[in-house]
Structure 1
């Protein structure tokens, strides 16, 4: 079910977009793994943990995780899968969602899954599956993920359902990377509007997949089944190179009978939701409302 998008971006979002394009510009080449990790670390460094939320690190099923626990956490669990093109990123990104955890009275856990190219598929999926199997037992859980984490979250849901695990109450995919063939037209339409590039993501896709077919449903969930998926919220910006991934996933989910809502944010570029802009605030409000309703099964 698509949600109408607003007509134009705010001035703040436009300025942030220009700054991001300048920060990631490198004429003549795509971002390599080292630069991708530095840029991702920089974006994560701006995230702040909400007051009244305790942040700790731990190990679950042999995998490093980061916990965020508000003073009262009785509503269930928010299970976070970070982005970073499968080659970068960390659980620090979950700080952006700590306020939601506090407002909803839910625990939040983020997984530091193994990254490519050092650890190609299925290492990352195995890690999030191992943690989920331990922490989501017998309590309502919503899975959320950004970018590559959004795609990985879909693969996790598919594995949970296929293996008879405790299915989540909901799924939130923020600008998900769901098709690692990178064959959609939005790469061309938004080439000069977004920090992503087909060339750069194709490098990351090959690093993550290793020798696996890029159309393997657990590598690129767009090519898999969405039957029995929980209610799903997909949020993406109209200037995102992964815009078509979101649209195609939404269409396929609805065809499979999933209660799926697609929200498109005018002028939103990749990762906009982590930026201080009115559109980001509104998107986070919608996500919080969705997660709260799913945890309480409303």
Structure 2
């Protein structure tokens, strides 16, 4: 009888917890899955956390180690090395859905981390739905490398696509999340200033637009963000910048000129410490009449479109629609 009562108590506790989470999700006007996912994200380090010299040395060793495409990315998501280049990955949508477009994707990870499994899953979904091929450079990582090394690699890859593969830039969509979103915006500013052909448009997911992290509103959101921590993120950004000032547009493009760029769409969530700068960039664009659109998702965390939640599916459908209309 005692054992049976214990089981009933445990079952009741679990049901009660589930009911509570569902009630909280409804009260917050979000999906239950997004709330559960957010609560679990703090258990995983999506960006390196540097708290000691040992942490730094481990990260330094990783940044010097040649990248190997994960088995799951090859076998499940069907990514491959682009033209044999081990620092550029690609994904081809089904032949019958290919629309002649290319997604040039720069992944996030605070400039220190490699792509996550969720990157491959999200990109496969977008490519299959939009009929666009994906090309993703695996740029050199901090702390062994800095912004100049990264820009040089991204530029070489882009020039190769235009000049050697003959890809029309007007059939190319730039996309990036977090640090990759920052790279995309800064890279487009660089291309415009150096008279290099620009892509058709850009989509930025939870972009890190200011590595100084000086926006005071970030401190308010910091306790709500399960992925990024303000102190650690600021350290990672300073290391990536090398000798550059953290306010230099090359590393913090929010301080740069984004006029005469292709249309830019930003996806962001209010439980992301980078959200205040995404909104700041949007309002700056409004004042200067830059072509920028923003989708601001309530209660969503950093890079939420990467996760298996209804809000991510909504964002992905919007991205596919944007790509298809151009």
* Inter-partner Cα distance in structure 2 for 1:94 and 1:250: 28
What are the superposed Cα offsets for residues 256-280 of structure 1, whole Å, 9 maximum, x if unpaired?
3222111111111112211111111
Correspondence 1:58 to 2:82: yes
Q: 1:149 to 1:275 in 2, by over 3 A?
A: same
Measure, in 1, the Cα distance between the counterparts of 2:290 and 2:89. Answer: 30
Q: Deviations over 1:91-119 (max 9, x none)?
A: 86244212221222211100100111101
Is the contact between residue 78 and residue 109 of structure 1 (CA under 8 Å) also seen in structure 2? Answer: yes
Would the alpha carbon gap of residues 101 and 29 (structure 1) be closer, same or farther in structure 2, given more than 3 Å must change?
A: closer
Higher relative contact order (CA 8 A, sep 6+): 1
User: Larger deviation: 234-243 or 249-258?
Assistant: 249-258
Compute the displacement of 1:78 (Å).
0.6
Shift of 1:252: 2.0
Q: Which residue of the partner structure matches residue 91 of structure 2?
A: 68
Q: Secondary structure at the match of 1:268?
A: strand
Q: Which residue of 1 aligns with 2:131?
A: 105
- Other-structure match for 2:284: 252
Mapped partners of 2:107, 2:50: distance in 1: 25
Name the SS of the counterpart of 1:291 in structure 2: helix
Determine if contact 1:179/1:220 at 8 Å carries over to the other structure. Answer: yes
> Shift of the alpha carbon at 1:90?
2.9
1:94-133 aligned at under 5 Å gives the runs 94-133=120-159
Match of 2:168 among 138, 160, 163: 138
Residue 151 (structure 1) aligned with residue 182 (structure 2): yes
CA contact (8 A) 1:186 1:240 kept: no
Distance in 1 between residues matched to 2:219 and 2:137, nearest whole Å: 32
**In structure 2, what is the Cα distance between the partners aligned to 1:134 and 1:47?**
27
Within 2, Cα distance between the matches of 1:205 and 1:170?
A: 26
Q: Distance in 2 between matches of 1:250 and 1:155?
A: 15
Q: Name the CA distance, whole Å, in 2 between partners of 1:10 and 1:266.
A: 11
In structure 2, what is the Cα distance between the partners aligned to 1:128 and 1:45? 21
1:196 and 1:94 map into 2 onto residues whose CA distance is 21
Q: Which structure has the bigger radius of gyration?
A: 2
Q: Equivalent residue of 1:96, what SS?
A: helix
TM-score under structure 1 length normalisation: 0.84
Q: Is residue 19 from structure 1 mapped to residue 51 from structure 2 by the alignment?
A: no
- Which deviations, in whole Å up to 9, do the C-alpha atoms of 1:96-147 show, x marking residues without a partner? 2122212222111001001111011111122112111221442411100000
TM-score by length of 2: 0.77
Unmatched runs of 5 consecutive residues or more in structure 2: 1-27, 63-68
- CA distance in 2 between counterparts of 1:50 and 1:252 reads 43
What is the 5 A alignment of 1:203-242? 203-242=235-274
Please tell me whether the aligned partners of residues 91 and 110 of structure 1 are also in contact (alpha carbons under 8 angstroms). Answer: no
What is the aligned-residue RMSD (CA, Å)? Answer: 3.0
Distance 1:272 1:165, change over 3 A: same
